[in-house]
Amino acid sequence: MRQKADFPVEDLVFWKNQLLHWAAGHTHAVYLDSHQHNSAAWECLVAAGAHQWVEMPAGQAFGALEQLRQKQSADWLFGFFSYDLKNELEQLHSHHPDGVGLPDLGFFCPETVVSIKKTEGLYRMEIACLSGTPEEKAQQIAAVLPTAGESSERVTLQARIPRDTYLQTVEAIRGHIAGGDIYEMNFCQEFYAEGVKINPLEVYQRLKVIGKAPFSCFLRWNDRYLLSASPERFLQKNGQKLLSQPIKGTRKRGASAAEDEQIRAELAASEKDRSENVMIVDLVRNDFSRNCVPGTVVVEELCGIHTFATVHQMISTVSGQLPDDKPETALRALRDCFPMGSMTGAPKVMAMELIEHFEKTRRGLYSGAVGYFNPEGDFDFNVVIRSILYHAGTGYCSAQVGGAIVYDSDPVQEYEECLVKVDAMVRALG
Protein backbone atom coordinates (compact mmCIF):
# COMPACT_ATOMS: atom_id res chain seq x y z
CA MET A 1 0.00 0.00 0.00
CA ARG A 2 1.36 3.37 -1.00
CA GLN A 3 1.56 6.22 1.48
CA LYS A 4 0.46 9.49 -0.09
CA ALA A 5 0.73 13.15 0.78
CA ASP A 6 0.65 16.38 -1.16
CA PHE A 7 2.65 19.56 -0.76
CA PRO A 8 2.39 23.12 -2.10
CA VAL A 9 4.77 24.02 -4.92
CA GLU A 10 5.85 27.64 -4.77
CA ASP A 11 8.82 27.33 -7.15
CA LEU A 12 7.84 25.08 -10.07
CA VAL A 13 11.21 25.33 -11.85
CA PHE A 14 13.08 24.34 -8.70
CA TRP A 15 10.99 21.27 -7.97
CA LYS A 16 10.97 20.03 -11.57
CA ASN A 17 14.75 20.35 -11.69
CA GLN A 18 15.14 18.56 -8.35
CA LEU A 19 12.82 15.76 -9.45
CA LEU A 20 14.74 15.23 -12.66
CA HIS A 21 18.09 14.92 -10.90
CA TRP A 22 16.63 12.78 -8.13
CA ALA A 23 14.98 10.38 -10.59
CA ALA A 24 18.13 10.09 -12.73
CA GLY A 25 19.96 8.68 -9.71
CA HIS A 26 17.89 5.47 -9.93
CA THR A 27 18.60 2.61 -12.34
CA HIS A 28 14.94 2.66 -13.48
CA ALA A 29 13.33 6.06 -13.90
CA VAL A 30 10.82 7.92 -16.07
CA TYR A 31 10.42 11.70 -15.98
CA LEU A 32 7.51 13.12 -18.03
CA ASP A 33 7.13 16.88 -18.58
CA SER A 34 4.18 18.51 -20.37
CA HIS A 35 5.76 22.01 -20.33
CA GLN A 36 2.48 23.68 -19.34
CA HIS A 37 0.63 22.41 -22.41
CA ASN A 38 -2.95 21.31 -21.80
CA SER A 39 -2.29 17.82 -23.18
CA ALA A 40 -1.90 16.09 -19.81
CA ALA A 41 -3.66 16.14 -16.44
CA TRP A 42 -0.33 16.93 -14.78
CA GLU A 43 2.58 19.27 -15.36
CA CYS A 44 5.20 16.72 -14.35
CA LEU A 45 4.96 12.99 -13.58
CA VAL A 46 7.94 11.05 -12.25
CA ALA A 47 8.58 7.39 -11.39
CA ALA A 48 11.79 6.23 -9.73
CA GLY A 49 13.10 2.96 -8.33
CA ALA A 50 11.85 -0.46 -9.46
CA HIS A 51 9.78 -2.51 -6.99
CA GLN A 52 9.12 -5.10 -9.70
CA TRP A 53 9.91 -5.02 -13.39
CA VAL A 54 9.82 -6.95 -16.64
CA GLU A 55 11.93 -6.68 -19.77
CA MET A 56 11.33 -8.92 -22.76
CA PRO A 57 12.22 -9.34 -26.42
CA ALA A 58 9.44 -9.58 -28.99
CA GLY A 59 7.72 -12.95 -28.84
CA GLN A 60 5.86 -13.10 -25.54
CA ALA A 61 6.36 -9.52 -24.38
CA PHE A 62 2.72 -8.45 -24.16
CA GLY A 63 1.90 -11.60 -22.20
CA ALA A 64 4.69 -10.82 -19.73
CA LEU A 65 3.36 -7.27 -19.34
CA GLU A 66 -0.14 -8.59 -18.66
CA GLN A 67 1.26 -10.87 -15.94
CA LEU A 68 3.01 -7.94 -14.29
CA ARG A 69 -0.17 -5.88 -14.47
CA GLN A 70 -2.11 -8.68 -12.76
CA LYS A 71 0.50 -8.85 -9.97
CA GLN A 72 0.44 -5.07 -9.56
CA SER A 73 -3.27 -4.46 -10.09
CA ALA A 74 -4.47 -1.05 -8.94
CA ASP A 75 -0.93 0.33 -9.00
CA TRP A 76 1.31 2.33 -11.32
CA LEU A 77 3.39 0.84 -14.13
CA PHE A 78 5.84 2.93 -16.17
CA GLY A 79 7.81 1.82 -19.21
CA PHE A 80 8.14 1.51 -22.94
CA PHE A 81 7.21 -0.38 -26.09
CA SER A 82 9.94 -0.56 -28.74
CA TYR A 83 9.05 -0.45 -32.42
CA ASP A 84 10.31 -3.99 -33.01
CA LEU A 85 7.43 -5.44 -30.99
CA LYS A 86 5.87 -5.47 -34.46
CA ASN A 87 7.63 -8.83 -34.85
CA GLU A 88 5.40 -10.26 -32.11
CA LEU A 89 2.23 -8.79 -33.57
CA GLU A 90 2.78 -9.68 -37.24
CA GLN A 91 4.88 -12.11 -39.30
CA LEU A 92 7.78 -9.65 -39.46
CA HIS A 93 11.46 -9.59 -38.54
CA SER A 94 14.30 -7.16 -37.77
CA HIS A 95 17.89 -7.97 -38.71
CA HIS A 96 19.51 -4.54 -38.88
CA PRO A 97 22.12 -3.45 -36.29
CA ASP A 98 20.98 -1.81 -33.04
CA GLY A 99 23.66 0.19 -31.27
CA VAL A 100 21.60 1.01 -28.16
CA GLY A 101 20.29 -2.44 -27.29
CA LEU A 102 17.25 -1.69 -25.16
CA PRO A 103 14.81 -4.58 -24.70
CA ASP A 104 11.74 -4.57 -26.94
CA LEU A 105 9.52 -4.06 -23.88
CA GLY A 106 10.40 -2.77 -20.43
CA PHE A 107 8.02 -1.87 -17.56
CA PHE A 108 8.44 -1.38 -13.84
CA CYS A 109 6.29 -0.80 -10.78
CA PRO A 110 8.01 2.20 -9.17
CA GLU A 111 9.00 2.57 -5.56
CA THR A 112 7.97 6.23 -5.71
CA VAL A 113 5.61 8.21 -7.95
CA VAL A 114 5.57 12.01 -7.86
CA SER A 115 3.16 14.25 -9.74
CA ILE A 116 2.84 18.01 -9.97
CA LYS A 117 -0.58 19.36 -10.95
CA LYS A 118 -2.19 22.76 -11.14
CA THR A 119 -5.37 23.06 -9.10
CA GLU A 120 -7.32 26.30 -8.83
CA GLY A 121 -4.36 28.25 -10.14
CA LEU A 122 -1.82 26.74 -7.72
CA TYR A 123 0.67 23.92 -8.24
CA ARG A 124 0.74 21.03 -5.77
CA MET A 125 3.01 17.99 -5.62
CA GLU A 126 1.74 14.54 -4.62
CA ILE A 127 4.18 11.87 -3.50
CA ALA A 128 3.09 8.22 -3.34
CA CYS A 129 5.71 5.78 -2.05
CA LEU A 130 5.95 2.09 -1.12
CA SER A 131 8.69 2.61 1.48
CA GLY A 132 9.46 5.50 3.77
CA THR A 133 7.07 8.41 4.11
CA PRO A 134 6.11 11.10 1.59
CA GLU A 135 7.60 13.69 3.93
CA GLU A 136 10.94 11.86 3.92
CA LYS A 137 10.86 11.57 0.13
CA ALA A 138 10.13 15.29 -0.20
CA GLN A 139 13.15 16.08 1.96
CA GLN A 140 15.34 13.72 -0.11
CA ILE A 141 14.21 15.30 -3.36
CA ALA A 142 14.73 18.84 -2.07
CA ALA A 143 18.20 17.94 -0.80
CA VAL A 144 19.51 16.53 -4.08
CA LEU A 145 22.43 18.59 -5.30
CA PRO A 146 21.88 19.06 -9.06
CA THR A 147 25.59 19.23 -9.80
CA ALA A 148 26.60 19.42 -13.41
CA GLY A 149 28.68 16.25 -13.16
CA GLU A 150 31.00 15.39 -15.99
CA SER A 151 30.25 17.66 -18.93
CA SER A 152 29.31 16.18 -22.25
CA GLU A 153 31.86 16.24 -24.99
CA ARG A 154 30.82 17.87 -28.23
CA VAL A 155 29.19 15.16 -30.33
CA THR A 156 29.16 15.25 -34.12
CA LEU A 157 26.53 12.96 -35.60
CA GLN A 158 27.10 11.25 -38.92
CA ALA A 159 24.40 10.02 -41.28
CA ARG A 160 23.94 6.27 -41.58
CA ILE A 161 22.51 6.76 -45.09
CA PRO A 162 24.42 9.06 -47.49
CA ARG A 163 22.32 11.86 -48.97
CA ASP A 164 22.42 10.46 -52.53
CA THR A 165 21.36 7.03 -51.28
CA TYR A 166 18.51 8.61 -49.33
CA LEU A 167 17.27 10.41 -52.46
CA GLN A 168 17.46 7.20 -54.50
CA THR A 169 15.58 5.31 -51.79
CA VAL A 170 12.73 7.83 -51.79
CA GLU A 171 12.42 7.32 -55.54
CA ALA A 172 12.32 3.54 -55.01
CA ILE A 173 9.55 3.95 -52.41
CA ARG A 174 7.61 6.14 -54.84
CA GLY A 175 7.91 3.25 -57.28
CA HIS A 176 6.22 0.92 -54.79
CA ILE A 177 3.46 3.50 -54.34
CA ALA A 178 2.99 3.79 -58.11
CA GLY A 179 2.84 -0.01 -58.29
CA GLY A 180 0.03 -0.14 -55.75
CA ASP A 181 1.98 -1.88 -52.96
CA ILE A 182 1.42 0.96 -50.48
CA TYR A 183 -0.17 4.41 -50.31
CA GLU A 184 2.28 5.93 -47.83
CA MET A 185 5.39 4.85 -45.94
CA ASN A 186 7.31 6.44 -43.09
CA PHE A 187 10.98 6.27 -44.07
CA CYS A 188 13.53 6.99 -41.34
CA GLN A 189 17.28 7.42 -41.17
CA GLU A 190 19.76 7.40 -38.32
CA PHE A 191 22.33 10.00 -37.34
CA TYR A 192 24.81 8.49 -34.90
CA ALA A 193 28.14 8.68 -33.08
CA GLU A 194 30.21 5.92 -31.49
CA GLY A 195 32.44 5.90 -28.41
CA VAL A 196 31.30 9.27 -27.11
CA LYS A 197 30.69 10.44 -23.54
CA ILE A 198 27.68 12.59 -22.80
CA ASN A 199 25.98 13.66 -19.60
CA PRO A 200 22.39 12.50 -20.27
CA LEU A 201 20.91 15.01 -17.80
CA GLU A 202 22.80 17.91 -19.32
CA VAL A 203 21.81 16.97 -22.87
CA TYR A 204 18.17 16.35 -21.93
CA GLN A 205 17.89 19.70 -20.19
CA ARG A 206 19.19 21.44 -23.31
CA LEU A 207 16.86 19.43 -25.55
CA LYS A 208 13.73 20.13 -23.53
CA VAL A 209 14.50 23.85 -23.38
CA ILE A 210 14.90 23.89 -27.17
CA GLY A 211 11.74 21.88 -27.85
CA LYS A 212 9.39 22.61 -24.91
CA ALA A 213 7.35 19.66 -26.15
CA PRO A 214 4.16 18.42 -24.45
CA PHE A 215 5.34 14.79 -24.31
CA SER A 216 8.92 15.40 -23.23
CA CYS A 217 10.53 12.41 -21.54
CA PHE A 218 13.71 11.36 -19.74
CA LEU A 219 14.01 7.59 -19.40
CA ARG A 220 16.77 5.66 -17.68
CA TRP A 221 16.89 1.87 -17.99
CA ASN A 222 20.14 0.82 -16.30
CA ASP A 223 22.88 2.23 -18.57
CA ARG A 224 20.55 3.09 -21.47
CA TYR A 225 18.90 6.49 -21.78
CA LEU A 226 16.14 8.11 -23.81
CA LEU A 227 16.19 11.92 -24.03
CA SER A 228 13.03 12.98 -25.82
CA ALA A 229 11.28 16.19 -26.83
CA SER A 230 8.31 14.46 -28.41
CA PRO A 231 5.34 16.57 -29.49
CA GLU A 232 3.15 13.56 -30.31
CA ARG A 233 0.69 11.45 -28.34
CA PHE A 234 0.35 7.83 -29.44
CA LEU A 235 -2.59 6.66 -27.35
CA GLN A 236 -4.45 7.70 -24.23
CA LYS A 237 -7.17 5.84 -22.36
CA ASN A 238 -9.40 7.75 -19.96
CA GLY A 239 -12.22 5.59 -18.66
CA GLN A 240 -13.65 3.94 -21.76
CA LYS A 241 -12.44 6.67 -24.12
CA LEU A 242 -9.45 6.12 -26.42
CA LEU A 243 -7.65 9.11 -27.92
CA SER A 244 -4.86 9.30 -30.51
CA GLN A 245 -3.25 12.41 -32.01
CA PRO A 246 -1.15 11.51 -35.07
CA ILE A 247 1.21 14.08 -36.57
CA LYS A 248 1.89 14.40 -40.27
CA GLY A 249 3.19 17.72 -41.61
CA THR A 250 6.12 19.71 -40.23
CA ARG A 251 7.51 23.18 -40.90
CA LYS A 252 10.34 25.07 -39.19
CA ARG A 253 9.34 28.22 -37.31
CA GLY A 254 9.95 31.55 -39.08
CA ALA A 255 12.56 34.14 -38.14
CA SER A 256 9.91 36.88 -37.71
CA ALA A 257 6.25 36.98 -36.74
CA ALA A 258 5.23 37.68 -40.33
CA GLU A 259 7.35 34.86 -41.76
CA ASP A 260 6.16 32.51 -39.02
CA GLU A 261 2.50 33.17 -39.86
CA GLN A 262 3.20 32.73 -43.57
CA ILE A 263 4.83 29.33 -42.93
CA ARG A 264 1.94 28.29 -40.70
CA ALA A 265 -0.57 29.23 -43.40
CA GLU A 266 1.45 27.39 -46.04
CA LEU A 267 1.39 24.22 -43.95
CA ALA A 268 -2.36 24.53 -43.41
CA ALA A 269 -2.90 24.84 -47.18
CA SER A 270 -0.50 22.05 -48.20
CA GLU A 271 -2.45 19.40 -50.10
CA LYS A 272 0.46 16.94 -49.79
CA ASP A 273 0.63 17.26 -46.00
CA ARG A 274 -3.15 17.06 -45.66
CA SER A 275 -3.17 13.94 -47.82
CA GLU A 276 -0.50 12.31 -45.63
CA ASN A 277 -2.37 13.25 -42.48
CA VAL A 278 -5.75 12.01 -43.71
CA MET A 279 -4.26 8.64 -44.74
CA ILE A 280 -2.93 8.11 -41.22
CA VAL A 281 -6.21 9.28 -39.67
CA ASP A 282 -7.98 6.59 -41.70
CA LEU A 283 -5.46 4.03 -40.49
CA VAL A 284 -5.99 5.06 -36.85
CA ARG A 285 -9.77 4.88 -37.31
CA ASN A 286 -9.37 1.36 -38.66
CA ASP A 287 -7.15 0.36 -35.71
CA PHE A 288 -9.69 1.81 -33.27
CA SER A 289 -12.57 -0.04 -34.94
CA ARG A 290 -11.06 -3.38 -33.94
CA ASN A 291 -11.97 -2.75 -30.28
CA CYS A 292 -14.24 0.30 -30.03
CA VAL A 293 -18.02 0.24 -30.00
CA PRO A 294 -19.32 0.59 -33.58
CA GLY A 295 -20.28 4.16 -34.42
CA THR A 296 -18.16 5.73 -31.64
CA VAL A 297 -14.94 6.31 -33.61
CA VAL A 298 -14.84 9.98 -34.56
CA VAL A 299 -12.32 12.54 -35.81
CA GLU A 300 -12.44 15.35 -33.26
CA GLU A 301 -9.96 17.52 -35.17
CA LEU A 302 -8.69 17.04 -38.71
CA CYS A 303 -5.38 18.56 -39.82
CA GLY A 304 -5.18 21.20 -37.09
CA ILE A 305 -2.04 23.36 -37.06
CA HIS A 306 -0.27 23.38 -33.68
CA THR A 307 2.75 25.55 -32.93
CA PHE A 308 5.71 24.49 -30.78
CA ALA A 309 9.00 26.15 -29.88
CA THR A 310 10.86 25.05 -33.02
CA VAL A 311 8.22 23.79 -35.48
CA HIS A 312 4.63 23.98 -36.67
CA GLN A 313 2.88 20.58 -36.80
CA MET A 314 -0.26 19.31 -38.52
CA ILE A 315 -2.10 17.21 -35.93
CA SER A 316 -5.38 15.31 -36.02
CA THR A 317 -7.32 13.90 -33.07
CA VAL A 318 -9.21 10.59 -33.25
CA SER A 319 -11.30 9.11 -30.43
CA GLY A 320 -13.47 6.09 -29.76
CA GLN A 321 -15.28 4.32 -26.93
CA LEU A 322 -14.26 0.91 -25.61
CA PRO A 323 -17.09 -1.50 -24.72
CA ASP A 324 -15.91 -1.79 -21.10
CA ASP A 325 -13.22 -0.63 -18.69
CA LYS A 326 -11.54 -4.01 -18.16
CA PRO A 327 -7.70 -4.09 -18.11
CA GLU A 328 -7.54 -6.84 -20.73
CA THR A 329 -9.71 -4.81 -23.10
CA ALA A 330 -7.47 -1.77 -22.68
CA LEU A 331 -4.24 -3.69 -23.31
CA ARG A 332 -5.74 -5.42 -26.35
CA ALA A 333 -6.75 -2.05 -27.80
CA LEU A 334 -3.25 -0.67 -27.24
CA ARG A 335 -1.65 -3.73 -28.81
CA ASP A 336 -3.94 -3.54 -31.85
CA CYS A 337 -2.94 0.10 -32.45
CA PHE A 338 0.81 -0.62 -32.20
CA PRO A 339 3.05 0.41 -33.90
CA MET A 340 1.40 3.77 -34.47
CA GLY A 341 0.24 4.60 -37.99
CA SER A 342 2.13 7.90 -38.11
CA MET A 343 5.43 5.98 -37.95
CA THR A 344 4.54 3.10 -40.28
CA GLY A 345 2.28 3.78 -43.25
CA ALA A 346 -0.67 2.35 -45.12
CA PRO A 347 -1.38 -0.48 -45.46
CA LYS A 348 0.47 -0.92 -42.18
CA VAL A 349 1.93 -4.44 -42.53
CA MET A 350 3.21 -3.93 -46.09
CA ALA A 351 4.66 -0.56 -45.07
CA MET A 352 6.54 -2.22 -42.20
CA GLU A 353 7.91 -4.88 -44.57
CA LEU A 354 9.26 -2.16 -46.84
CA ILE A 355 10.61 -0.20 -43.88
CA GLU A 356 12.73 -3.22 -42.97
CA HIS A 357 13.89 -3.49 -46.57
CA PHE A 358 14.90 0.14 -47.08
CA GLU A 359 16.11 1.31 -43.66
CA LYS A 360 19.61 0.47 -42.45
CA THR A 361 19.19 0.50 -38.65
CA ARG A 362 16.80 -1.16 -36.22
CA ARG A 363 14.53 1.51 -34.85
CA GLY A 364 14.46 0.05 -31.34
CA LEU A 365 12.74 2.51 -29.00
CA TYR A 366 12.66 5.19 -31.70
CA SER A 367 9.06 5.32 -33.05
CA GLY A 368 8.01 3.22 -30.09
CA ALA A 369 6.22 4.65 -27.05
CA VAL A 370 6.93 5.65 -23.43
CA GLY A 371 4.29 6.21 -20.78
CA TYR A 372 2.35 4.67 -17.93
CA PHE A 373 -0.65 2.73 -16.66
CA ASN A 374 -2.21 4.38 -13.61
CA PRO A 375 -3.96 2.68 -10.65
CA GLU A 376 -7.39 3.28 -12.24
CA GLY A 377 -6.40 1.28 -15.32
CA ASP A 378 -6.02 4.29 -17.63
CA PHE A 379 -2.88 4.93 -19.66
CA ASP A 380 -1.07 7.55 -21.72
CA PHE A 381 1.82 6.97 -24.13
CA ASN A 382 3.81 9.27 -26.37
CA VAL A 383 5.45 8.60 -29.74
CA VAL A 384 9.23 8.43 -29.39
CA ILE A 385 10.37 11.01 -31.94
CA ARG A 386 12.66 14.09 -31.71
CA SER A 387 14.77 11.95 -29.39
CA ILE A 388 18.31 10.92 -28.52
CA LEU A 389 19.11 7.36 -27.46
CA TYR A 390 22.34 6.72 -25.59
CA HIS A 391 24.15 3.59 -24.36
CA ALA A 392 26.47 4.82 -21.61
CA GLY A 393 28.32 1.51 -21.48
CA THR A 394 29.56 1.72 -25.08
CA GLY A 395 29.20 5.43 -25.85
CA TYR A 396 26.80 4.81 -28.73
CA CYS A 397 24.56 7.82 -29.41
CA SER A 398 21.68 7.79 -31.89
CA ALA A 399 19.11 10.25 -33.23
CA GLN A 400 16.69 8.95 -35.86
CA VAL A 401 14.33 11.08 -37.94
CA GLY A 402 12.00 10.46 -40.85
CA GLY A 403 8.92 11.46 -42.71
CA ALA A 404 5.97 10.14 -44.67
CA ILE A 405 6.67 9.31 -48.30
CA VAL A 406 3.74 9.56 -50.72
CA TYR A 407 3.73 9.58 -54.51
CA ASP A 408 3.92 13.39 -54.59
CA SER A 409 6.99 13.46 -52.33
CA ASP A 410 10.02 15.37 -53.55
CA PRO A 411 13.19 13.51 -52.42
CA VAL A 412 15.18 16.69 -51.79
CA GLN A 413 12.38 18.27 -49.75
CA GLU A 414 12.00 15.05 -47.73
CA TYR A 415 15.72 15.08 -46.94
CA GLU A 416 15.58 18.74 -45.91
CA GLU A 417 12.62 17.96 -43.62
CA CYS A 418 14.78 15.32 -41.92
CA LEU A 419 17.44 17.97 -41.30
CA VAL A 420 14.82 20.27 -39.76
CA LYS A 421 13.73 17.50 -37.41
CA VAL A 422 17.23 16.46 -36.34
CA ASP A 423 18.35 20.06 -35.74
CA ALA A 424 17.16 20.18 -32.11
CA MET A 425 19.06 16.98 -31.25
CA VAL A 426 22.20 18.24 -32.99
CA ARG A 427 22.02 21.50 -31.02
CA ALA A 428 21.42 19.67 -27.72
CA LEU A 429 24.48 17.47 -28.33
CA GLY A 430 26.69 20.27 -29.59
Q: At residue 179, does pLDDT exceed 90?
A: yes
pLDDT of residue 402: 95
**Which pLDDT does position 192 carry in this prediction?**
98
Q: What is the DSSP string of 195-243?
A: S----HHHHHHHHHHHH--TEEEEEEETTEEEEEEE--EEEEEETTEEE
The mean predicted confidence, pLDDT, of the chain is 95
Angle at 53 between CA 50 and CA 54, to 5 degrees: 155
Closest to 72 (Cα-Cα) out of 2, 125, 5: 2
Q: Give the CA angle between residues 263, 382, 85 to the nearest 5°.
A: 120
Beta bridge partners of 348: none
Provide the pLDDT confidence category of residue 168 given band limits of 50, 70 and 90: very high
**Does the N-terminal peptide bond of residue 339 adopt cis geometry, omega within 30 degrees of 0?**
yes
- At residue 176, the pLDDT reads 98
Work out the pLDDT band at 119, boundaries 50, 70, 90: confident
Residue 38 is predicted with a pLDDT of 79
pLDDT at 149 (0 to 100):
63
Q: What is the mean pLDDT of residues 257-286?
A: 94
pLDDT at position 147 over 90: no
In this predicted structure, the answer to whether residue 148 has a pLDDT above a threshold of 70 is no
Q: What percent of the chain has pLDDT over 90?
A: 91
**Band of residue 186 on the pLDDT scale cut at 50, 70, 90:** very high
Q: Is 39 left (phi over 0), alpha (psi -120 to 50) or beta?
A: alpha
pLDDT at 155: 95
pLDDT of residue 309: 82
pLDDT in tens, 292-313: 999 999 999 999 999 888 889 9
Average pLDDT of the residues in 28-39: 92
As assigned by CATH, the class of the 3-143+158-429 domain is alpha beta
Q: What percent of the chain has pLDDT over 70?
A: 99
Q: pLDDT of 320-365, one tens digit each? A: 999 999 999 999 999 999 999 999 999 999 999 999 999 999 999 9
The average pLDDT across 73-92 equals 96
Average pLDDT of the residues in 38-44: 87
- In this prediction, residues 118-135 reach a mean pLDDT of 94
Coil, helix or strand at residue 163:
helix
pLDDT digits (tens, 9 = 90+) for 149-159: 677 788 999 99
Residue range 181-185: mean pLDDT, rounded: 95
By residue count, the chain amounts to 430
Q: How confident is the model at residue 259 (pLDDT cuts 50, 70, 90)?
A: very high
